Amino acid sequence: MTKVAVIGIGITQFGEFWERSYRDLITEAGINAIQDAGIDGIEVGALYVGSMSPGLFIGQEHVASLVADNAGLTGIPATRVESACASGGMALREAYLSIKAGAADIVVAGGVEKMTDVSTEAATDALAGAADQEWEAFHGVTFPALYAMMARRHMKEFGTTEEQLAMVAVKNHHNGSLNPNAQYRKPITVDEVMKSAPVADPLKLFDCSPITDGAAVVILASEERAKKLCDKPVWIMASAQASDTLALHDRKSLCRTEAAVKASKIAYKAAGVLPKDVDFAEVHDCFTIAEIMAVESLGFCEVGRGGKFTEDGETSLKGRKPVNTSGGLKAKGHPVGATGIAQAVEAVMQLRGEAGKRQVHDATVGLTHNVGGSGASCVVHVFQKEVR
Amino acid sequence: MTGIVGYGAYVPRYRIRAEEIGKVWGGDGERMAKSLNIREKSVPALDEDVITISVEAARIAVRHAKVNPRDIEAVYVGSESHPYAVKPSATIVAEAIEATPDLTAADYQFACKAGTAAIQTCLALVKSKIIKYGMAIGADTSQGKPGDALEYTASAGGAAYILGERNTIADIHDTYSFTTDTPDFWRREGQDFPRHGSRFTGEPAYFKHIIAASKRIMERNNLRPEDFRYAVFHQPNGKFPVAVAGMLGFKKEQVEDGLLTPMIGNTYSGSTPLGLSAVLDVAHPGDMILVTSYGSGAGSDAFIIRATDRISKNRNPKPVREQIKHKEYVDYSIYAKFKSKIKGVCLQRR
Amino acid sequence: MTEGLALHWRLIPPRYNLIGNTCKNCGQRFFPPRNICPDCRRKSRLERFKYSGEGEVYTYSIVRVAPTGFEFQKPYVVAIVKLKEGPKCTAQIVDCDPEGVRIGDKVEVVFRKIMADDDSGIIKYGYKFKLKK
């Protein structure tokens, strides 16, 4: 089977944009990606778009056709992929699989979410659709509350502290300040995080990723096309996915994202690498505790030591395992469906040496980790630099 | 003989003091408390209503009676603050105690005596062998008009009774009701708060009906006040039941055990049923109990009850005086929030 | 999200009475009830099982930013309760000082209003828990 490479990337600014629509955002990202890939639109064989809830955010379903239509790609097979916050990562995986299967040799994988056309309350309610409606949302549980319950368990079982959670936010805001596309570009302090308004104890406002508009697109190509079209193809060495129970209360452990453990194990095996070989990772920090659990689930540190790992600076830009160099969901922003693709864009930029002030030196292997809801789905990709 | 097989009481946890209410309306809460003999009243939480209160009371009653809920073939809920104008509280309660589907059910309204009216109906259905067991509930979360005297007294709570033929803890020997059209206290459809006739609610209403019903039932059973160990009268405040007891020839000691209003306020349809439950919690085999409720509009239901031998062997698992010890005080703002007295505040999405 | 009438009505047994199920094939207990036993799948032999309502707090959080409809209850406690009989479920913990809840606290079930969709819609009742004294 052919290898698959990323030959083009495109991303919009992330933020709150009154003047930019769903169509504006995805088209901008898509055109940038096609331009970056140096191909003609006519060469695109298929399109996969990740969008969690355009139905609730902009009243629109059937968005894959809309995206293709709007981008001048009418006619090609266009598919919307949905897995809550993992929609983007899953769209990437579907695009990857279609090339592996020989169904197409150049495929667009995009992600987009327009969250600010509805009120904050309505947006929060839409996001709650990722939880179990009958047995979690029905009882007044919010996403921050679900992750807060995991945090409380993590604190009880491993002694993780609220300050360590805050350090994740501080690091990511620092990285975000170096990312011109990030929603938040101002550094913050632990003290500011600790003093921010409580949302769902122990999580506070600055422990939570924001509501964001944005889009990101990557162009994937088969090995043969990539080698012809691209100087710096970035290879997708592994694409893995796993699922878990929808409701948090049905999970085997609240402190481990089992789906991430499973997916990353498969990905490491397929890519022929170990956790220690990963030079940087973009992980799903929808809440600070999620990043701590991610670095444990991905095997970057021992289970329970994620807080300490962060506190010791291991995950900072200059650390041994830079995590979320883009600023993560926390500072870069979290336009839900776009996130998984945005993570891939950052990974590719790092591996091409195009990450500017955020550059991880000598980065050869990167990993992206995209989670749906409270952990019911997880998609992990391993990217490798072209080695000549 | 037909009687009470089991019962359950429930009073919400929150309380507001008379002084707190007085503070808001420029009234002397301390003076009101003394004149009504009500120190504080129970307040339902935002997520409580007559249905939730009835379910909690009903579940205790089922536990106490040790009956199979499927054998409860009637459920009646009496209240003047049913959550729905159309859709009976009784069906939800029946479902929540797993008594459905083989039963009859309906809601009753007769101001503060809807609960005892329900007891009479269940009594008749059991006695006539139409049903095996019947459940009668009196519960309320009544509203007092802000600033009105009733705001010091209108509270929340309820009690459920399971009537049956076998294994009774107290037998109902007789029941008699005295009913007239007396417009002492009423609420028109669609109105938020009731209105009342002030002093008219006393002598021609409360006292007339309770005295008439109590006298008649004692007469026709050849009984006098001295023959009773306990007397439970409807308790809209802490003074009226003591006064009417005196007028009928009962002593203060006979009404004390059944008097809960000074601590929890007037639970309207729950008032007499809760008072009776407090008495049953401490009664001994052979004790005679006179119970006379009062509902505005107006009427009184009187009962002659005798505790059986089983009463001391089957004590209630959650006696009401134990329950009301666990309380938490709220101020007027929280009270107003809980009782949806603030425009736009309620437990719903829009 | 507003739920349909029939959806809530179908869920009355678990929501009012903690009716779940158990797989007679492997002995696992489920609450909320499941369509099939995830381990036994086609070999599942599911039977109705009623939970007592006793349990303990497995984890919890105090919700201070509430979803639509729950605004007037904040701050309120949501918890994952480990039922005495085994399964875990999610619910509010009521009638307590939110700051006074701890992992391991014993709880018992209560019947409360969960939500109404608007002032003319039906009222949805269901399970919540309170701390056992």
Residue-range definition of the domain harbouring residue B250 = 170-311
In total, how many domains does chain B have?
A: 2
Q: What are phi and psi of C121, to 5 degrees?
A: -85, 170
Looking at CA atoms only, how far is residue B25 from chain C in angstroms? 24
Output the six-digit token pair for A248.
């948090």
For chain C, which residues make up each domain, given as ranges? Answer: 53-133
> C-chain residues within 8 Å CB-CB of B337?
72
- Name the residue type at position C38: P
Query: According to the model, what pLDDT value does residue B215 have?
Result: 98
Residue B145 lies in a domain: yes
Specify whether the CB–CB gap between C78 and A145 falls below 8 A.
yes
Query: According to the model, what pLDDT value does residue B143 have?
Result: 84
Strand bridging mode A365-372 / A214-222:
unpaired
For chain A, which residues make up each domain, given as ranges? Answer: 4-119+212-234, 140-210+238-385
> C-chain residues within 8 Å CB-CB of A157?
none
Give the distance from CA A42 to its chain's centroid. Answer: 28
C42: number of Cβ within 10 Å: 6
Looking at CA atoms only, how far is residue A172 from chain C in angstroms? 23
Tell me the C-alpha to C-alpha distance, in Å, between residue B44 and each of B13, B85, B322, B338: 7, 19, 18, 7
> C-chain residues within 8 Å CB-CB of A149?
59-61, 78-80
Query: According to the model, what pLDDT value does residue A178 have?
Result: 98
Residue B343 lies in a domain: no
In chain B the beta strands, taken as DSSP E runs, fall at: 3-10, 14-17, 40-43, 72-78, 104-108, 133-141, 156-164, 170-182, 185-186, 195-196, 230-233, 288-292, 297-307, 328-329
What is the tens place of the pLDDT at every residue in B148-200? 888 999 999 999 999 999 999 999 999 999 999 999 999 999 898 899 998 99
Q: Is pLDDT at A67 greater than 90 in this prediction?
A: yes
**If you average pLDDT over residues B263-285, what whole number do you get?**
98
CA angle A278, A282, A287 (to 5 degrees): 130
**If you average pLDDT over residues B130-149, what whole number do you get?**
93
The answer to whether A139 contacts C126, with C-beta atoms less than 8 Å apart, is yes
Strand bridging mode B104-108 / B72-78:
parallel
Of C1, C32, C92, Cβ closest to residue A140: C92
Q: State which fold the C53-133 domain adopts.
A: OB fold (Dihydrolipoamide Acetyltransferase, E2P) (2.40.50)
Same domain, yes or no: B154 and B262:
no
Q: Is B247 helix (H, G, I), strand (E, B) or coil?
A: helix
**If you average pLDDT over residues A65-85, what whole number do you get?**
96
Catalytic one among A173, A334, A369, A381?
A334
Which helix (H) or strand (E) element contains residue A366?
strand A365-372
Q: Which chains touch B (3 or more CB pairs under 8 A)?
A: C
List the one residue out of B119, B296, B91 whose CA is nearest residue B207. B296
Residue with tokens 């997708």: A236
> C-chain residues within 8 Å CB-CB of A125?
1, 67-68
**If you average pLDDT over residues A203-211, what whole number do you get?**
97
What is the tens place of the pLDDT at every residue in C72-111? 999 999 999 999 999 999 999 999 999 999 999 999 999 9
By percentage, how much of chain A surpasses pLDDT 90? 98
How many angstroms separate the CA atoms of C73 and C65, rounded? 10
Range in A134-148, B201-215, B329-343, C6-20 with the lowest mean pLDDT: B329-343
Same domain, yes or no: B149 and B208:
no
How many angstroms separate the CA atoms of B17 and B334, rounded? 12
Give the orientation angle of helix B18-25 with respect to helix B29-36, to 10 degrees: 130
- Span A140-210+238-385: which CATH code? 3.40.47.10
> C-chain residues within 8 Å CB-CB of B56?
110-111
Chain B interface residues facing chain C, Cβ-Cβ under 8 Å? 13, 45-49, 51-52, 55-56, 59, 83-84, 87, 92, 95-96, 98, 326, 328, 337, 345-350
Domains A4-119+212-234 and A140-210+238-385 share a fold: yes
HEC secondary structure over chain C: CCCCHHHHHHCHHHHHHCEEEEECCCCCEECCCCCCCCCCHHHCCEEEEECCCEEEEEEEEEECCCCCCCHHHCCEEEEEEEECCCCEEEEEEECCCHHHCCCCCEEEEEEEEEEECCCCCCEEEEEEEEECC
Class of the domain covering A4-119+212-234: alpha beta
How many angstroms separate the CA atoms of B122 and B105, rounded? 11
By percentage, how much of chain B surpasses pLDDT 70? 100
By percentage, how much of chain B surpasses pLDDT 90? 91
- Name the residue type at position C11: L
Query: According to the model, what pLDDT value does residue A388 have?
Result: 61
Is A334 designated active site?
A: yes
DSSP H helices in B258-307: 261-264, 271-282
What is the tens place of the pLDDT at every residue in B48-67? 999 999 999 999 999 999 99
List the one residue out of A306, A356, A324, A370 whose CA is nearest residue A172. A324
Same domain, yes or no: B192 and B50:
no
What is the tens place of the pLDDT at every residue in C6-65? 999 999 999 999 999 999 999 999 999 999 999 999 999 999 999 999 999 999 999 999
A388: number of Cβ within 10 Å: 5
What is the tens place of the pLDDT at every residue in A317-351? 999 999 999 999 999 999 999 999 999 999 999 99
Output the six-digit token pair for B150.
């009733």
Same domain, yes or no: B61 and B174:
no
How many angstroms separate the CA atoms of B153 and B147, rounded? 12
Same domain, yes or no: B17 and B163:
yes
Residues 6+ apart with CB under 8 A from B191: none
How many angstroms separate the CA atoms of A171 and A207, rounded? 12
Query: According to the model, what pLDDT value does residue A1 have?
Result: 80
Per-window interface: C 29-88 vs A, CB < 8 A: 32, 58-70, 73, 76, 78-80, 87-88
**If you average pLDDT over residues B259-284, what whole number do you get?**
98
Give the global pTM. 0.95
C29: nearest CA partner in chain A = A250
Residues of B that are catalytic: 80, 112, 234
